[in-house]
Structure 1
Amino acid sequence: MTWLRGLRARLVITFVLVGGLSAVGAAGLTYYKAQNNLLAGAQNRLLKDFRYRVLLLSRDVALPANDEVLDQLAEDLEVGNRDVYVVRDGEVPSDNRITGELRARVLRRDELVWQRVVDDGVPYLVGGSRVMFGAGGEPSGITVYLVESLSQTATDETAVLRAAQTATLPAVLLAVLAGLLAARGVLRPVADLDRAARRLGEGRLETRLPVRGGDELARLAGQFNATAAALEHSVGELREMEARSRRFVADVSHELRTPLAAATAVTDVLEAGADRLDPNAGTAARLVSAEIFRLTRLVDDLMEISRFDAGAAVLNLNDVDVGAAVAACLRSRGWGSEVVVDLPPDIVVPLDPRRVDVIIANLVGNALRHGEPPVTVRVRATDDIATVEVSDHGPGLSADVLPYVFERFYKADAARARSEGSGLGLAIARENALLHGGDLTVAPGPGAVFTLTLPRKRT
């Protein structure tokens, strides 16, 4: 679920950013348009009014105009807080808000020109025009300038900005809410798919997803269902084949028990009298007896594996001293003098003596056959577990062999087609360890080191 949480966070952030940026962008665009409209509207009204008043009042001006006439025209053109200057062409008005750039543009053109300037933090609209007389637009030699405050427009612009800022916050909140809802809607099918995939991985092959709509996620859910159904069918067939195989092995092993018992009785008689037979017949009798013994052991191991596979293996638990159990195993097989032991007393564990005897015998027997002396058996314990470690000083096991040691019929040396054992000894030993709630592991050492772990408390 870590990847899903990360995806959810990224989607939420993406939706929120997109929504928030959209809201902020919309508010900014609104402010920009409103600002332009306010300025443009104010300028157009002021300039249009000024142009009209110049045309209207300048018709009565007699040329050449003296200073008194010019001052009267300026007074007539002044309205409200507007400052008007009427001068002869080329003269410089006394107001420094009328820039040299504007004066130059006025003299070059026969129409009203303007610009916005800021003086002491107050915005002004500054315009100027040469006064033209007659139908042909002859210059009169008079230039008029206006300077009008845009403070009211700036106040309106500030109000628009404040309104845009006020509207941005709820818009961003709505964008965040929309982002959360959108992310939830997108991620819900993904989360369902994640849960379904995990259930399928846990072996619940009946898992299916609801298919809603016809988008990509719906098609993905349908494909998942088809794949799950095919997997369930295939796994069902494999399980049935495995069950039939186990029944076959169990049945064959059971059926072989009776003829093997009879064959064993006969070979025992032959082996007992082999010394009285001629050398060739005696050798053949001993060979047949050894093969019958090996076959009997293989059948016994197959039946034991079948019981594990069928879940029919049971434990007969008793509180047993592990060191005493190990010593009894070595003594019964005559290995007491061949093995170095470290068996502290009074390590009592609930275990099945017969099954633990099988484990120890298999591990020590393998160490004696395939390893080199000294073979050592150590018993250790904590409050929770007891361990039995069997080690030797032989060539050990290579790293590529270790993962397969407990597989059935696995041989580390592929060239050794036949061996004394059945090839099931370590597999049976580990199954017995797992049946106790413990484990059997192997690690490289000076040779091979096998460690049996047993819980000290009944489960």
Structure 2
Amino acid sequence: MRRAGLRARVTAGFTVGALILSAMMALVSYHLTRDALLDERERTAVRAAYLEAAVVRARLGTERPDIVEILRSLDTGQDRRAVLWRNGTWYARNADAGTTEAIPEPLQQSVRDGRPAIQRVRAQGQPAVVVGVPLSDTTAFYHVDHLHELEHTLQVLGLVLTLVAVITAAAGAGIGWYSTRYTMRPIILVAGAAQEIAKGDLGARLDPATEPDLAKLTTSFNDMVDQLAQRIERDRRFAADVSHELRSPLQTLAAAASVLGRRRDHLDERSATAAGLVADEVDRFQRLVNDLLELARTDQPADRGPVDVVNLARQVCRSRQLPETLLERRDLDDRVWVVDRRRVEQVLGNLVDNASRHGGGASAIRLGRSAGMYYIEVDDEGPGVGTDDKQVIFDRFVRGRTATTRGDTEGTGLGLAIVAQHTAAHGGRVAVLDRPGGGARFRVELPEDPR
């Protein structure tokens, strides 16, 4: 399972933290508000019950009191009910719709014993507060206060607090995303500069003024790049100087080997074999020196210009005695590319030579256009490239396992490295793929836009 990125984890942390905090505050606020409203409602119910009980007690002291009329005279409103228990009989202002059944028996017993009582109950499916007031040994007054409006208010309050918690969590996610974006911006800048350097742009630098708090990191990074550029330049100059110095003695050796080669018929078999080996190794040495010189120059910018790549590919085929029928065009209306002619010619030549040496020969050379990129593909009929070799085959002095197994010593191990360097100079990319039906397919992609 792939682990989430740093930005996602930090944003999720902010979101969860904000949600937990807001949920806890909402829960506490709800309970505190609920308890305060219920306590206030109970105190109101108790005051109203005692006032009504006083009125009922006074009017019960008259001769032949009309209990129902007394209860009707009370201003109970829509949410309150008043009932009277007298001599074992219940009295109410209207028909009893379950009010007396809602009064708990323990509360009734407490009132009969002469102790006022209060209790929260559910009457007719709605929350209510019952207040019982003893008037005499045989009479008790009960005040039932329904709380459905208060319950509705608490429901609205709970919904509002839930929305606040959700909004707070969303705000926490936004703050987390913004914070990670701001704090990771220097890392993104460093990563971008590192990618540019990896592509060969040794002029990439970080601006110390962008993030003053990270000035030390910026300065250290720029110093590292400066030292790296100097080291690469020294190595390039060293390779170029050594290769250049080797050319003179190599030319002398090549001339001597040529003389020996022409006189092989006058030499004994052993000497003739040795002369042939010397000539082959001198030739290989010359190709190695030429490749080193080419690599020393690959760090220079590409010298772009209009190039008829189709004609260029045909020339490469003719120079290697390959049939031009190998050349294929795919979705390519424009034969002219804006590229460095010398570099592209060497890319084509090296890929064809690699196919000849290690892939049993080129089976197709393809020029095409796709997704804003021009591409060159060279297929071969060899055993293909192993997964491990695909990771390093474009490095310098790396030769595939198949070449090593066959004892192939003709290659220098620099041909594909030069291909990769020339491709990078154009801002493109190179890859090796598996060819359908077997073999390898080397693909070079070059951007249409030369900028």
Same fold, TM-score > 0.5, yes or no: yes
Aligned residue for 1:408, secondary structure, equals coil
Aligned residue for 2:391, secondary structure, equals helix
User: Any conservation in 1 of the 2:264–2:272 contact (CA below 8 Å)?
Assistant: yes
Distance 1:297 1:166, change over 3 A: closer
Distance 1:434 1:37, change over 3 A: closer
User: Any conservation in 1 of the 2:381–2:439 contact (CA below 8 Å)?
Assistant: yes
Distance 1:206 1:382, change over 3 A: closer
Q: Give the counterpart of 1:407 among 370, 373, 395.
A: 395
Q: Superposition pairs for residues 239-388 of structure 1, below 5 Å? A: 239-309=229-299, 311=300, 314-315=303-304, 317-320=305-308, 322=310, 324-333=311-320, 335-336=321-322, 341-342=326-327, 348-350=335-337, 354-372=342-360, 375-381=362-368, 388=376
Tell me the distance in 1 between the aligned counterparts of 2:349 and 2:85.
Answer: 124
* 1:43 corresponding residue in structure 2: 46
* 2:88 corresponding residue in structure 1: 92
Deviation at 1:10, TM superposition (A): 7.3
* 1:394 corresponding residue in structure 2: 382
Tell me the distance in 1 between the aligned counterparts of 2:354 and 2:28.
Answer: 79
Describe the superposition over 1:85-104 as per-residue Cα deviations: whole angstroms up to 9, x where unpaired.
897xxx52453759793665
User: Any conservation in 2 of the 1:388–1:453 contact (CA below 8 Å)?
Assistant: yes
Describe the superposition over 1:86-145 as per-residue Cα deviations: whole angstroms up to 9, x where unpaired.
97xxx52453759793665556x4x42445689899976333376xxxxxxxxxxxx142
User: Any conservation in 1 of the 2:116–2:131 contact (CA below 8 Å)?
Assistant: no
* 2:32 corresponding residue in structure 1: 29
| 1:200 partner amino acid | V
Tell me the distance in 2 between the aligned counterparts of 1:395 and 1:163.
Answer: 79
| 2:258 partner amino acid | D
**Which segments of 5 or more consecutive residues in structure 1 lack a partner in the other structure?**
58-68, 131-142, 212-223
Identity across the alignment (%):
26
Deviation at 1:352, TM superposition (A): 5.1
* 1:140 corresponding residue in structure 2: none
Comparing 6-15 with 439-448, greater Cα deviation is found at 6-15
Q: Give the counterpart of 1:145 among 127, 139, 147.
A: 139
| 1:400 partner amino acid | D
Tell me the distance in 2 between the aligned counterparts of 1:119 and 1:422.
Answer: 97
Deviation at 1:201, TM superposition (A): 1.0
Aligned residue for 2:387, secondary structure, equals coil
Deviation at 1:202, TM superposition (A): 1.0
Tell me the distance in 2 between the aligned counterparts of 1:254 and 1:366.
Answer: 25
The number of residues matched between the two structures is 404
Tell me the distance in 2 between the aligned counterparts of 1:394 and 1:129.
Answer: 111
Distance 1:146 1:419, change over 3 A: same
User: Any conservation in 2 of the 1:209–1:225 contact (CA below 8 Å)?
Assistant: yes
* 1:449 corresponding residue in structure 2: 441
Tell me the distance in 1 between the aligned counterparts of 2:447 and 2:387.
Answer: 28
- Does the alignment pair 1:419 with 2:404? no
Tell me the distance in 2 between the aligned counterparts of 1:174 and 1:347.
Answer: 61
Distance 1:411 1:48, change over 3 A: same
**Which segments of 5 or more consecutive residues in structure 2 lack a partner in the other structure?**
76-81, 93-99, 194-204
Deviation at 1:411, TM superposition (A): 1.2
User: Any conservation in 1 of the 2:376–2:444 contact (CA below 8 Å)?
Assistant: yes
Aligned residue for 2:295, secondary structure, equals helix
User: Any conservation in 2 of the 1:74–1:85 contact (CA below 8 Å)?
Assistant: no
Describe the superposition over 1:425-452 as per-residue Cα deviations: whole angstroms up to 9, x where unpaired.
1222343345456555432233223345
Tell me the distance in 1 between the aligned counterparts of 2:318 and 2:232.
Answer: 40
Tell me the distance in 2 between the aligned counterparts of 1:124 and 1:340.
Answer: 103
- Does the alignment pair 1:202 with 2:198? no
Deviation at 1:341, TM superposition (A): 2.9
| 2:303 partner amino acid | V
Tell me the distance in 2 between the aligned counterparts of 1:179 and 1:7.
Answer: 13
Tell me the distance in 2 between the aligned counterparts of 1:84 and 1:169.
Answer: 36
User: Any conservation in 2 of the 1:70–1:86 contact (CA below 8 Å)?
Assistant: no
Tell me the distance in 2 between the aligned counterparts of 1:371 and 1:379.
Answer: 16
Deviation at 1:175, TM superposition (A): 7.7
Comparing 411-420 with 12-21, greater Cα deviation is found at 12-21
Distance 1:45 1:73, change over 3 A: farther
Tell me the distance in 2 between the aligned counterparts of 1:2 and 1:290.
Answer: 55
Deviation at 1:298, TM superposition (A): 0.9
Tell me the distance in 2 between the aligned counterparts of 1:174 and 1:113.
Answer: 42
Q: Give the counterpart of 1:128 among 125, 134, 149.
A: 134
Tell me the distance in 2 between the aligned counterparts of 1:84 and 1:277.
Answer: 139
Comparing 16-25 with 169-178, greater Cα deviation is found at 169-178
Tell me the distance in 2 between the aligned counterparts of 1:85 and 1:286.
Answer: 131
Tell me the distance in 2 between the aligned counterparts of 1:321 and 1:163.
Answer: 80
